[in-house]
Amino acid sequence: MDEDIITLLDEDSGEEISLRIIDEFDMEDRSFGVFLTLTENEEDAEVIILEMIEEGEEMLLQSLDEAEEDSIYDYYDSLCDEEEE
Kindly report, residue by residue over 27-67, the tens digit of the pLDDT: 999 999 999 999 888 888 899 999 999 999 988 899 999 99
Give the CA distances from residue 64 to residues 24, 53, 85, in Å, rounded to whole numbers and listed in that order.
15, 12, 28
Q: Are 35 and 50 in contact (CB under 8 A)?
A: yes
Kindly report, residue by residue over 63-83, the tens digit of the pLDDT: 999 999 999 999 999 999 988
* pLDDT at residue 3 greater than cutoff 70: no
Kindly report the pTM of this predicted structure.
Answer: 0.83
